[in-house]
Structure 1
Amino acid sequence: MISHTGTLFNDGPLRRVVEAAVRARESQGALDLDDEVRRFVRTAGAADSSRWVLPVVAVAALLDHTADLLRSEGVAFFPREFTERLDKARDDVPGEEFLRTLAGRVRMADQELDAGFDELPLADWEAAARFPELLGFGPNWIYDGEFPLLSEAQVAFRSPGPGSRGASFGTALFPLSCVRGGGSARVLGLGNPASGFGVRGSSAVVQPVGKRRGVGKTFPPSPPRYGEQV
């Protein structure tokens, strides 16, 4: 009989948090674990629907529950993929202790204001998860030479068509200074330094303001309508 409970540990929020710890450890100091956890919390709370389905505090509780299972049931209870991923993340820290530490970091990040993209740049994995419509924005809309100015490419990209809603919202959210040269540049396809991105025809775009969860709602301004200058 095939057990489907392993998915709880091999996919979903538990996997995402442990993967964040793996990225931080394997980066050899380039990434900070607290920053990666803050990015996870920012992504998990980006939509009202995701907060309704699985609040961040529930993710922290799941980490604590997994630590309890690791103590009571042992490593053999879990899928091999999960324990291997946990081993990469924890180094020489006991697994139960490491999971509880992660739970505490998640709770702490959830109590803080959401970090703006100028303070905590958008990571490549974060951009791909939140704005999949923006994949290939650079090569498809800027570098092929159809539009001489970045502002013209942005207006065309926001025009009605398949995926335009998500693309419009995503491009309105990104300050150019946070996209250019950052991890999200790889997702957007903005890695060509000879393109002049951010120089020719560029202008500031709106940035989402932080919010404290559970205390009202704060929404970013609506993206410009088709034909408006950015």
Structure 2
Amino acid sequence: MPSFTWSVFDRGPTARILDLAVMCQESGGRYSLTDELAAFVRLVQSSNEAQWLCPVTTVTALLDLTAEYLERKQAELPQEFTAKLARAAGGTGGAEYLRALAGILRAIEQDTAGETAPSAGAGWDTDIRFRMLRGFYDNWIGSGEYESLEEAISAAIDSEHPFCGDFLAPVASEAESALVRLLDSADSGAGLSHTMSWATAATLTTLLDAVNGHMRHEHPDPLATPDHDHR
């Protein structure tokens, strides 16, 4: 019977943490490991889905379990994982380094409990946080196919109508979140402005107005009943 347990090491939160560690280790001091792990913690804390599926406490437990597994002489781990771990650890023992990462994450989680503002850093968390909004821009607004912003948004909405709820809901949700960040403060919107310079308050407002207007006028409330007194 085939075993799929290696997926614990070569994908998911353990691999994501090591990717960040490698990025920082090989950045020549450009990126701080603490800052990037703080961005990871805030990303998880700001998502109900992530908190439900794999909270930070589970991530740290996986790192500790992997360290224990590494210390067993009979342990066999995917070669890609051990190579990535060696790059991240920079000469430190693999098990020791994994436990150190778990400790840093626990400390950050205690310090950032309840915070949702993204920390300064590489900006990878912005790409993930606004994945649907970025895709919407790339496919419709930034494609250059349409002469105006309004025309691009209208074409996108029409392409999914009348089954556009699943398409528009996450885009509108991320657009509203992005708009709030931009209007909140310069620090709050800094990461967004750096990685998604097109996402201005005006553009996001136009997008939200178009989505809200479409849903109000083209999707009447299915629970509404006719007013028999004004027929």
* TM-score higher than 0.5: yes
Change over 3 Å in CA distance of 1:204–1:120 after alignment to 2: farther
What residue identity is the alignment partner of 1:8? V
Q: 1:65 to 1:99 in 2, by over 3 A?
A: same
Corresponding residue number in structure 2 for 1:56: 56
Secondary structure in structure 2 of the residue aligned to 1:40: helix
**Residue from 165, 169, 173 that aligns with 2:173:** 169
Partner of 1:181: 194
Structure 1 pair 142–49 and aligned structure 2 pair: CA distance change class (3 A) = closer
Structure 1 position 139, deviation (Å): 6.6
- Counterpart check, 1:141 vs 2:146: no
SS in 2 for 1:181: helix
Is the deviation greater in 90-99 or in 45-54? 45-54
Partners of 2:154 and 2:121 lie apart in 1 by 25
- Whole-Å separation in 1 of the counterparts to 2:99 and 2:171: 38
TM-superposed CA distance for 1:156, in Å, is 5.2
Q: Any runs of at least 4 consecutive aligned residues in structure 1 with deviations exceeding 4 A, and if so which?
A: 152-160
Closer, same or farther in 2 for the Cα pair 1:120/1:62, shift >3 Å?
A: same
What displacement does 1:132 show?
Answer: 2.9
Q: Name the SS of the counterpart of 2:72 in structure 1.
A: helix
**Is the 2:140–2:156 Cα contact (8 Å) retained in structure 1?**
no
- Tell me: CA distance 1:23–1:143, structure 2 relative to 1, closer, same or farther (3 Å): same
Larger radius of gyration: 2
How far is the alpha carbon of 1:4 from its aligned partner? 1.7
Residue of structure 1 in register with 2:30 after alignment: 30
* Contact 2:41–2:108 (8 Å) recurs in 1: yes
Verify: 1:82 aligned to 2:67, yes or no: no
Look up the match of 2:21: 21
Asked if 2 retains the 8 angstrom alpha-carbon contact of 1:67 and 1:99, the reply is yes
The verdict on how the C-alpha distance between 1:67 and 1:121 changes in structure 2, with shifts beyond 3 A counting, is closer
Contact in 2 for aligned 1:45/1:51 (Cα 8 Å): yes
Deviation for aligned residue 1:129:
3.2
Does the 8 Å CA contact 2:140/2:153 hold for their aligned counterparts? no
Asked if the contact 2:71/2:95 (under 8 Å) is kept, the reply is yes
TM-score by length of 1: 0.68
How big is each residue's C-alpha offset from its partner over 1:177-206, in whole Å with a ceiling of 9 and x where there is no partner?
Answer: 432333xx3xxxx5xxxxxx477x73898x
**RMSD between aligned alpha carbons?**
3.3
In the alignment, what sits opposite 1:5? 5
Residue 212 of structure 2 aligns with an amino acid whose one-letter code is Y
- Structure 2: how far apart are the matches of 1:204 and 1:137? 11
Q: Mean alpha-carbon deviation: is it higher for 38-47 or for 76-85?
A: 38-47
Higher helix share: 2
Q: Aligned residues, how many?
A: 192
What is the match of residue 211 of structure 1?
A: none
User: How much does 1:121 deviate?
Assistant: 6.2
- Would you say the 8 A contact 1:67–1:100 is kept in 2? yes
Alpha-carbon contact 1:41-1:56 (below 8 Å) kept: yes
Runs of at least 5 residues in structure 1 that lack an aligned partner in the other structure: 191-196, 206-222
For 1:179, the aligned partner's letter is L
- Segments of 5+ residues of structure 2 without an aligned counterpart are 183-188, 215-231
The letter for the 2-side match of 1:23 is: M
What is the alpha-carbon distance in structure 1 between the residues aligned to residue 93 and residue 21 of structure 2? Answer: 14
